[in-house]
Amino acid sequence: MPVVNVAGTTARFAYPCKLGKWRKSREPVVRVGQSRCHLQGELDLKSKSPIVFTDSLQDARRTAGPASKPSFSPSSGFWAHFIKHHWNREPLIIKNPFSPPITTTEEVFVALRKVAAEFEIDGARVQCRLYRDEDGFLLKGAKLRRYFPAATDRSISAYTKRIKAKLKGERFGLILHEFQTHDAQFYLRTREFLSGLAAQLPEHWTSLIGLFIGNYEQTPFGIHQDPANVFDFIVKGVKRIYIWPEDYFRDPFDKLLDSDFAVLRKDAMILEGEAGDILCWPPNYWHVGESIGNLSISASLSLIPAQLSNRIVNAIKNCIEQALGPSLNGDAGFPRSTSEVEDSADMIAATVRQATRLLKRTPQNFELIQSLQATWLNRMTSSGSHLAPPPLPIEILKDDYVVRGIPELPILWITTPDNQILCSANGHSFTLPAAPSVIRLLKELNSGAPLRVGEFVKKYTGVSGCDGIQFNVSIDGIRFLLSKLYSLRAIEREI
């Protein structure tokens, strides 16, 4: 019987809903999970008041006990009600659902300081834009450097005060895309927030997170539509979202969009939230944001419908391009004029045959299959995000450290034909030998039960067998696995 020694790990590393006419609906006070939620007049033609949920939406069972960490996962009852009444349907205001809030101005400022540092290393990776409200002025590229926090800025207030002075008091809007890559804690909290929705909704989505900072009168790119269900987390100040039904404007070129905004907003429903609130609206509503007062900060989480088949097709397309690209040498050999068409027929036919052979080999292409599996697992463990925060540096965990997994953010894995498991945590994948003891370890971590690192090591090292193969799992192998999962933020250390 062969023995596989495990001494460490190697990294490898929607549906649109037309609102139609504004309508009015009166609903009684209802109980959602452990929370008493007051529903106030839906889409009244005169008041255009959205539904408002008040009080905590958290499950009391998950927040009980002095040692419990803050929960950012609404109760299952809340999500059931949300899916029935609001997903792809109606806007919603959720008043101050979490304590503490899902993020703070201090955490946002720390993230912006990281953005400034990353911009100096590789500015192309930072997807950020600065708009001046008065004239549609757009700043991007190297000139953005002057508009990130400087060493002299000690707080978000000091930073924005400097930016306002630099712009001579003109209104502005700073938009940072893929905010989750710069703030790992916000990424984890939004994953926890979405875990209950994903558990009840048989749909897949791509999640996009953007940070909005400014005192703009309108979202810099104006009134627009998105093919997404949106959750807008208000971090600081007061923010309004003006919303119009899908058929209010004909299309993005409708001349009505150029009308006086003061007139247009008289027909809009207004979602207004302050720090700690969440504003929600479904796909295809026309909308625009407004910052009330001196400054508002919000983080927008957009969920866009996604299909697994599209991911597979794109991955196969990329595989074919990589395989054929070198032999084609760019566009050399392809006809550039009508006189060359006949002479190039053989070359084009040969290229098609080569692509066909590659497709026929795809079912046996283990590397491609594993790449597709890793891509989908990573999307599952990142709640549909394209990009996840980078791992922390590896810190070898000591025996007396107490660690636990996060049941709301489970580690996922699949067994491969070569006696490996392909494992994914928070958007990062790696492979491990498929030792039964390692699989049992992952299952225990997903339960959330705390245990000292030394106890984990003692419990899961040794020889275990499966399908005629013995795996010898070493002390260093288990310790390194735990350390790697900690670097991926898939397990937490109790202090």
What is the per-residue pLDDT across 425-480, written as a single tens digit (0 to 9) for each? 999 999 999 999 999 999 999 999 999 999 999 999 998 877 778 889 999 999 99
Higher pLDDT, 49 or 184: 184
**Pair 178, 209: CB distance under 8 Å:** yes
User: Smallest Cα–Cα separation from 204: which of 306, 304, 86, 302?
Assistant: 306
**Pair 450, 441: CB distance under 8 Å:** no
Q: Which residues pair with 53 in a beta bridge?
A: 94
Residue 146 is predicted with a pLDDT of 87
Please state, for a pLDDT cut of 70, what percent of the chain lies above it: 78
Residue range 358-408, pLDDT digits in tens: 666 655 667 777 888 888 899 999 999 989 999 999 999 999 999 999 999
Measured distance CA(372)–CA(366) in Å, rounded? 10
Measured distance CA(140)–CA(120) in Å, rounded? 14
Chain position carrying tokens 């067998």: 465
Higher pLDDT, 241 or 58: 241
Query: What type of residue sits at position 199?
Result: A
Give domain limits for the chain. 3-12+372-494, 33-105+176-306, 311-364
Residue range 267-300, pLDDT digits in tens: 999 999 999 999 999 999 999 999 998 899 999 9
Burial class of 373 by CB neighbour count within 10 A (0 to 12, 13 to 18, 19+) = middle
Residue 455 is predicted with a pLDDT of 96
Query: What type of residue sits at position 446?
Result: N
Q: Which residues pair with 234 in a beta bridge?
A: 298
Report the relative pairing of strands 469-473 and 3-6 from DSSP bridges. parallel
Residue 187 predicted with pLDDT over 90: yes
Residue 276 is predicted with a pLDDT of 95
Domain 3-12+372-494: state its class: alpha beta
- Architecture in CATH of 33-105+176-306: Sandwich (2.60)
**Through-space distance between the first and last CA atoms of the chain, rounded to whole angstroms:** 43
Higher pLDDT, 123 or 39: 123
Measured distance CA(328)–CA(334) in Å, rounded? 9
Residue 323 is predicted with a pLDDT of 66
Measured distance CA(425)–CA(405) in Å, rounded? 11
How much is the mean pLDDT over the chain? 81
Measured distance CA(495)–CA(489) in Å, rounded? 15
Q: Assess whether the region 3-12+372-494 and the region 33-105+176-306 belong to the same CATH fold.
A: no
* Dihedral sign (CA 341, 342, 344, 346): positive
Report the relative pairing of strands 469-473 and 428-433 from DSSP bridges. unpaired
384: left (phi over 0), alpha (psi -120 to 50) or beta: left
Residue 356 is predicted with a pLDDT of 75
Residue 23 is predicted with a pLDDT of 31
Tokens linked to 442: 């992952």
**Pair 95, 274: CB distance under 8 Å:** no
Chain position carrying tokens 């971590």: 445
Residue 37 predicted with pLDDT over 70: no
Residue 62 is predicted with a pLDDT of 44
Question: In which band, very low, low, confident or very high, does the pLDDT at 15 lie, cut at 50, 70 and 90?
Answer: very low
Measured distance CA(251)–CA(245) in Å, rounded? 12
Measure the CA angle with vertex 383, ends 309 and 65; round to 5°: 150
| 3-state secondary structure (DSSP) of residue 174 | strand
Residue 111 predicted with pLDDT over 70: yes
Which residues have a Cβ under 8 Å from the Cβ of 269 and sit 6 or more positions away? 22, 43, 48, 49, 50, 91, 242, 243, 244
Tokens linked to 116: 């400034």
Residue 455: phi and psi, rounded to 5, are -70, -40
Q: What is the pTM of this model?
A: 0.81
Residue 259 predicted with pLDDT over 50: yes
**Pair 495, 26: CB distance under 8 Å:** no
**Pair 93, 111: CB distance under 8 Å:** no
